Amino acid sequence: MLWNVKTKEGKVTLSSSELLQVLMAKIVTQEKPEHDVMTQALTEYLEATQTLRTISPLQLASISFELGYYYRLFKEKNEVEIEGEGSDRQDTNSSSNESSCN
């Protein structure tokens, strides 16, 4: 599968591994405390429901990827304030929040 992306600089075609590299670079450079909290919550849920024992690494990756997508939609579609340790941002529903991967 290929992703054809139109950017301000022109058009680029990315393979799945190239797109993954671009996304992984964003994860590394933009650490967000709420992601650590949500990752811990997912881990605790999977352990409590004993799901972690029965799913494959591919299924776990798929769950994580889809949860990330729906978490982003949740923040974009709602007026969300994040409170607690490490949350220096208040309003996270702005459409300008990292809307592109470039």
pLDDT in tens, 82-95: 887 655 544 444 44
Note the pTM of the prediction, 2 decimals.
0.65
Q: Using the predicted structure, report yes or no on whether residue 100 has a pLDDT greater than 50.
A: no
Ordered by start, the domain boundaries in the chain are: 1-30, 32-97
Nearest-angstrom CA–CA distance, 55 and 57: 7
Map residue 10 onto helix, strand or coil: strand
Q: In this structure, which amino acid lies at residue 83?
A: E
Q: Using the predicted structure, report yes or no on whether residue 19 has a pLDDT greater than 60.
A: yes
Given this model, what pLDDT does residue 85 score?
A: 66
Segment 38-64 shows an average pLDDT of: 93
Alpha-carbon Rg for the chain in angstroms: 16
Instruction: Give residue 31's pLDDT band: very low, low, confident or very high (50, 70, 90).
Output: confident
